[in-house]
């Protein structure tokens, strides 16, 4: 893959581990996680991202997912706030438009991420384009990291689900961004709205506990979770992008591992397969998700009172 200087840049192309015994692959969704390093400029990121998408298509991907805030490489730390906030761009500008054209050309869905312009301050946004280049979902990060510089971002206001037309058929897709993962309510709401797959752009160290959170979100909601992180050293990221297929148990398999893919820390384009038919059949019969919940008993979940030891002076209710 050439970089913006024209020099040859070799990226590792990694495939998911072999298929597990007994799986049903009548309908398989292939997701490419673009675990790539930003270039330092908007145009450079655009060109490198387009090249990565082309490689993902060659690998057979139905969806390509970028890490968090790809437009500026999540370069918001150790810089004056006014500098990185000035890098916000509109959703209807040339950066996203280039990916609209590309998605239609490649016949591949693309989850592109950006620092988005907003009247109240920039937002941390994912735009999901279907294989016809149509925008089907725009999601702004709800749980901004208000204990740090993300306090300068405008939080999103809602979690949404959209039908995504892929070569594997229609898939109901929702999104979380990085810190959203820390709150089980994020994935739960998306499940209740019909999501089968969650796309999770990320920019932080993915150690065993955060990976366990993603596994839990997939397990408890019976949905697939695909997370794309930056590679090691960007700036404190470490790769370990992952895909969990949401199937905790499978007939005839003593210990089925729902982890379809966990990358190492190296830059690369990584492909994972999700058996949609098997996931949908599993959701029809298993005990999790919304099957045996008792929402009338959950009134405390909507109580807005914050008690000790969780009171924080920088909390904002927006």
At 41, list the tokens: 């400029």
What tens digit of pLDDT does each residue of 93-132 get?
A: 999 999 999 999 999 999 999 999 999 999 999 999 999 9
CA angle 92, 30, 188 (to 5 degrees): 70
Over its length of 318 residues, how does the chain's per-residue pLDDT go in tens digits? 434 343 333 344 444 333 444 444 458 999 999 999 999 999 999 999 999 999 999 999 999 999 999 999 999 999 999 999 999 999 999 999 999 999 999 999 999 999 999 999 999 999 999 999 999 999 999 999 999 999 999 999 999 999 999 999 999 999 999 999 999 999 999 999 999 999 999 999 999 999 999 999 999 999 999 999 999 999 999 999 999 999 999 888 889 999 999 999 999 999 999 999 999 999 999 999 999 999 999 999 999 999 999 999 999 987
- Tell me the C-alpha distance between 187 and 143, whole Å: 12
Query: CB–CB of 123/142 below 8 Å?
Result: no
Domains and CATH numbers, the chain: 13-302 (3.60.110.10)
Query: CB–CB of 248/216 below 8 Å?
Result: no
């Amino acid at each position: 893959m050439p970089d913006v200087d024209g020099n040859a840049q070799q990226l590792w192309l990694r495939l998911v581990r072999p298929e597990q015994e007994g799986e049903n692959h009548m309908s398989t969704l292939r997701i490419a996680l673009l675990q790539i390093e930003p270039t330092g400029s908007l145009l450079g990121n655009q060109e490198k991202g387009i090249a990565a998408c082309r490689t993902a298509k060659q690998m057979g991907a139905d969806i390509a997912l970028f890490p968090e805030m790809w437009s500026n490489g999540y370069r918001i730390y150790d810089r004056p706030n006014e500098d990185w906030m000035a890098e916000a761009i509109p959703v209807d500008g040339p950066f996203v438009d280039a990916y609209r054209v590309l998605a239609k050309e490649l016949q591949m869905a693309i989850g592109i991420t950006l620092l988005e312009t907003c009247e109240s301050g920039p937002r941390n946004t994912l735009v999901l384009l279907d294989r016809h280049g149509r925008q089907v979902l725009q999601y702004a990060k709800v749980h901004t990291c208000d204990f740090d510089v993300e306090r300068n971002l405008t939080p999103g206001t809602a979690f949404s689900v959209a039908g995504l037309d892929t070569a594997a058929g229609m898939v109901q897709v929702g999104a979380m961004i990085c810190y959203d993962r820390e709150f089980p309510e994020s994935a739960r709401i998306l499940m209740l709205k019909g999501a089968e797959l969650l796309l999770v752009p990320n920019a932080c160290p993915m150690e065993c506990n955060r990976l366990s959170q993603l596994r839990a979100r997939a397990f408890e909601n019976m949905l697939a979770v695909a997370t794309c992180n930056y590679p090691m050293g960007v700036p404190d990221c470490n790769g370990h992008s992952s895909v969990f297929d949401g199937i905790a148990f499978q007939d005839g398999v003593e210990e089925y591992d729902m982890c379809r893919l966990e990358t190492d820390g190296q830059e690369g384009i990584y492909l994972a397969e999700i058996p949609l038919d098997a996931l949908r059949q599993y959701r029809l019969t298993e005990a999790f998700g919304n099957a045996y919940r008792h929402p009338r008993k959950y009134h405390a979940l909507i109580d807005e009172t914050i008690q000790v030891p969780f009171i924080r002076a920088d909390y904002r209710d927006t």
